[in-house]
Amino acid sequence: MHLLLVEDDELLGDGIQAVLAGNGYEVDWVRDGQSALGALEQASHDILVLDLNLPDLSGFEVLKSLREGGSQVPVLVLTARGDVADRVRALDGGADDFNFDRLDGARTTPQTLLESVERLPVMATRRLVLLVEPDGRRAGAKALLEALPDVVKSLREREETVLVVTATKADKRSRFFKSFADPAAVVECDPPKNGKPLFKFIEAEAKRQGIEVETGVPELLAERIGPQLLLLRHELAKASLLAGPGEVVTRAHVDASAAQVAEEPIWDLTDAIGEGRGGQAIALLARLLDGGNAGAPLLGALASHFRKLAMVRGGGDVPGPPFVKQKLERQARRYTSAQLLRCLREIHHTDLALKGVGSLPEEIALERLVLGLSG
């Protein structure tokens, strides 16, 4: 396999070239972006190993030039950058994620799955294959479900590939389900909905955070917040801050810190934001605040909604009725992955503002956020 390495650091580049050559790769090494584009024009390469921090053109610019010029050479980005936005920008720009395959169960064939799990990792000890919702009701799904047990069995002898299958519903009597036995495993991720399971979640979360709560607090939080697990965690922490270090969280603390958020008005607000109706979104926000809803629960609901949009935009599946999924898919199409990450960062900055970082009043901070999210 013929690789082109683009790395300006002499010591690092020399080490990478030596390791790759030692593993049987033929390596050409250049030190800047212009040289990389020239080398790709002059010779055929199977993979481009590209650093982002280059002295002339950045790695992003090299990647953009390649893809706009029609080159489909696989690109492995080599960088010390840890920021999620940089990774998303590189992938959106045409970089390839060699060590992760996300397969849509509605479109994946047995052959595609087999090829994916048999592919070796690149410059890593393992690669991840995620198969999402292999739906047994669709045409052609039966063949995929029948092939899965043999695929799982074949992976028991190999450590370089990790296969994860997610399914909202799975027949526990099926051969497919039973194939996930030692060393494979089944992890049930059903969230608590209401009642005792939700109370137990709140109690366990309080223990995890080292918060002592009086009798009745889990029930009151469940009533106020409902089965919004991330928001419940946030509200527990907020009530504990109000109570003070080492103090017991009482119902009075929850009454003061957690306001009830009704589902329907929140859906109206997120719908208006997701569909770009900024003026209506501001009016709905004002109505919610005037109705006594606190800023933190509203912000938590917005954070939850935009996480779902990011998941859908990335090809993930969000549990819920078909009409809700369709609405999320329609709204997600308004944003790029990078824009959704920016929205989540704006939500985080607003959360800091509500906690007292800066001088913006709560209402102004939320209005600015809603306008920004509406785009």
The whole-number pLDDT of residue 77 equals: 81
The percentage of residues in the chain with a pLDDT greater than 70, rounded to a whole number, is: 86
Two domains, one topology: 2-92 and 196-257: no
Dihedrals phi, psi of 115, to nearest 5 degrees: -65, -40
Please tell me the predicted confidence (pLDDT) of residue 241. Answer: 85
Residue 126 has pLDDT above 60, yes or no: yes
Section 139-165 average pLDDT:
85
Tokens of 372: 């920004």
Is the pLDDT at 84 greater than 60? The verdict is no
Which range (76-90, 93-107, 322-336) has the least confidence? Answer: 76-90
3-state secondary structure of 272: helix
SS (H, E, C) 100-116: EEEEECCCCCHHHHHHH
- Helix 295-313 to helix 362-374 angle (10° resolution) is 20
Secondary-structure class of domain 196-257 per CATH: mainly alpha
Q: How far apart, in whole angstroms, are the C-alpha atoms of residue 237 and residue 200?
A: 17
- 91: alpha, beta or left? (left if phi > 0; alpha if psi -120 to 50): alpha
Query: What H or E segment, with its residue span, contains residue 50?
Result: strand 47-51
Could you say which architecture CATH assigns to the domain 263-374? Up-down Bundle (1.20)
Phi first, then psi: give them for residue 130, nearest 5 degrees: -110, 115
128, burial (CB in 10 Å: exposed 0-12, middle 13-18, buried 19+): middle
Sign of the alpha-carbon torsion through 331, 333, 339, 342: positive
Q: What is the pLDDT of residue 82?
A: 47
Is the pLDDT assigned to residue 202 strictly greater than 80?
A: yes
Per-domain residue ranges of the chain: 2-92, 100-178, 196-257, 263-374
Most confident region among 25-39, 154-168, 239-253 by mean pLDDT: 25-39
Burial class (CB in 10 A: 0-12, 13-18, 19+), 5: buried
State yes or no: pLDDT of 22 exceeds 90: no
For residue 183, whether the previous peptide bond is cis, meaning omega lies within 30 degrees of 0, is yes
Classify domain 2-92 at the CATH topology level: Rossmann fold (3.40.50)
Query: 138 to each of 134, 293, 325, how far by Cα in Å?
Result: 9, 43, 18
pLDDT of 81 over the 70 cut = no
Tell me which of 140 and 208 has the higher pLDDT: 208
CATH architecture of 100-178: 3-Layer(aba) Sandwich (3.40)
Q: What are phi and psi of 249, to 5 degrees?
A: -80, 125
**Residue 196: partners with Cβ closer than 8 Å, 6 or more residues away:** none
Reported as a pLDDT band with limits 50, 70 and 90, residue 36 is: very high
Task: Inform me whether the pLDDT recorded for 109 exceeds 70.
Answer: yes
Cβ of 212: how many Cβ atoms within 10 Å? 13
- Taking only the tens place, the pLDDT of each residue in 235-266 is 888 888 888 888 999 998 887 776 544 455 56
Q: What is the mean pLDDT of the chain?
A: 81
Length of the chain: 375
pLDDT score at 248: 95
- Local confidence band at 342 (pLDDT 50, 70, 90 cut-offs): confident
